[in-house]
Amino acid sequence: MPRIARYSSSRRAPVSAAGDTPLVADADAADESPPRANPEPAEPPSPHTRRRPHVAWLLLALVLAMNAAMLGFWVHDQKHRAPQQITQQDIDAAVLRTLQTQTLPSPTARAAAKIAPSVVHVVSYARTKRGTEVERGEGTGVVVVDTGVILTNLHVINGARRIAVQFADGSTSNAEVINIQPENDLAVLKATEPPDDLQAAAMRSTEGLNAGDQVIAVGFPFGIGPSVSAGVLSGFKREFQSPEGKQTLRNLIQFDAAANPGNSGGPLVTMDGEVIGIVTAILNPTSSRTSLGIGFAVPIENAAKALGSPPF
């Protein structure tokens, strides 16, 4: 009789015609089937599965390329974008904010700050008959050349055996007289050991100045200083006769900024911080030797001649 076909237990039985009862061999027949020596190899992976990593890399490259393109467009747009226009209204608003939030120095303070590094304290010394050195007088000077050349009054240093000057940074030096101009009560000194960073004052002609223009006088009144006093120009081409009547000074600047003994030789300065004269004398008909509001200064044009420089 024909042999009944055997089926592997791993295979699913076909469905009967009725569609509800599987057709399977009996259990004994299934158990008698020998194992297969060469099992079928596993189904190889699909080519589509193998390409999935490449697809991921392609997607990443595409994203990076899009980002680079967007960045390039942004940079190009920034380069060609028109700069923001600043209007006069913007400037006015910025200035107003500064004025409302910042305390600005006064014109007098700015002028004093500009001249301050060039102002020096001048002290003259004499010797007694016993050989002792004593202070003879003091005044003020102004540096006009940064190598240590200083303008002061002749009467401040006249008759001195030794002259010492103290600079704005506190350093001191002896000084020598290198020129005098007696008719204008001027002396030119040269410091023997000036500071390396010494600043010379800026000077300007008196031409174009008018009575009423603001000025400051800087010096060491009664040895106190540097001190600043403010006032105005009172007039030009004034004359002054010394109390002893021994000398008459001409072509002087009159000013009303407070000046006292010790201010002699100091600078008379504009609001731009420029020296226009050397304070020389005060008018005081009393014996108090204090300021009454009438001071005199030698115009800087005359001082320039004492330096050996041509006038402005």
What is the CATH number for 217? 2.40.10.120
**Rounded mean pLDDT of the chain?**
82
Could you tell me the pLDDT band of residue 15, with boundaries at 50, 70 and 90? very low
Nearest Cα neighbor of 274 from 54, 50, 112 is 112
Residues 275/217, Cβ–Cβ less than 8 Å:
no
Does residue 175 register a pLDDT over 80? yes
Nearest Cα neighbor of 187 from 178, 200, 196 is 178
User: What's the pLDDT score for residue 6?
Assistant: 47
Q: pLDDT (tens digit, 9 = 90+) per residue, 116-168? A: 999 999 999 999 999 899 999 999 999 999 999 999 999 999 999 999 999 99
Rounded Cα distance, 224 and 47, in Å: 102
Quickly tell me which residue has 């595409």 as its tokens.
Answer: 62
Quickly tell me which residue has 């009303």 as its tokens.
Answer: 256
User: What's the pLDDT score for residue 28?
Assistant: 45
Does 92 participate in catalysis according to the annotation?
Answer: no
Quickly tell me which residue has 């904010």 as its tokens.
Answer: 97
Rounded Cα distance, 233 and 219, in Å: 17
Could you tell me the pLDDT band of residue 312, with boundaries at 50, 70 and 90? low
User: What's the pLDDT score for residue 31?
Assistant: 46
**Is 40 within the bounds of a domain?**
no
**Is 61 within the bounds of a domain?**
no
Where are the strands (E) in the chain, listed by range?
Answer: 119-127, 133-145, 149-153, 162-166, 172-181, 186-191, 202-203, 214-219, 227-241, 248-255, 267-270, 274-282, 295-299
Is the pTM higher than 0.85?
no
Catalytic entry in 118, 173, 185, 291: 185
Catalytic entry in 118, 121, 124, 155: 155
Q: In terms of residue numbers, what domain contains 180?
A: 114-306
User: What's the pLDDT score for residue 40?
Assistant: 53
Q: Which residues contact 145 (CB under 8 A, 6 or more apart)?
A: 200, 307
**Is 276 within the bounds of a domain?**
yes
**Is 193 within the bounds of a domain?**
yes
Does residue 8 register a pLDDT over 50? no
**Is 3 within the bounds of a domain?**
no
Amino acid at 214: Q
Q: pLDDT (tens digit, 9 = 90+) per residue, 64-119? A: 777 666 766 666 665 656 567 888 888 888 888 877 787 878 999 999 999 999 99
Q: pLDDT (tens digit, 9 = 90+) per residue, 260-292? A: 999 999 999 999 999 999 999 998 767 777 788
User: What's the pLDDT score for residue 53?
Assistant: 59
**Is 145 within the bounds of a domain?**
yes
**Is 99 within the bounds of a domain?**
no
The count of structural domains within the chain is 1
Nearest Cα neighbor of 302 from 183, 216, 156 is 183
Question: Which residue has better confidence, 63 or 247?
Answer: 247
Distances (CA, A) of 132 to 125, 128, 156, 161: 10, 5, 20, 11
Which range among 16-30, 77-91, 169-183, 293-307 shows the weakest confidence by mean pLDDT? 16-30
Catalytic entry in 173, 234, 264, 291: 264
What's the sign of the alpha-carbon dihedral 185, 186, 191, 197? positive
User: What's the pLDDT score for residue 88?
Assistant: 87
User: What's the pLDDT score for residue 304?
Assistant: 78
Does residue 42 register a pLDDT over 80? no
User: What's the pLDDT score for residue 45?
Assistant: 53
HSE value, Cβ hemisphere, 13 Å, CA-based, for 302: 23
Rounded Cα distance, 71 and 77, in Å: 10
Does residue 11 register a pLDDT over 70? no
What share of the chain in percent tops pLDDT 70?
73
**Is 124 within the bounds of a domain?**
yes
User: What's the pLDDT score for residue 218?
Assistant: 98
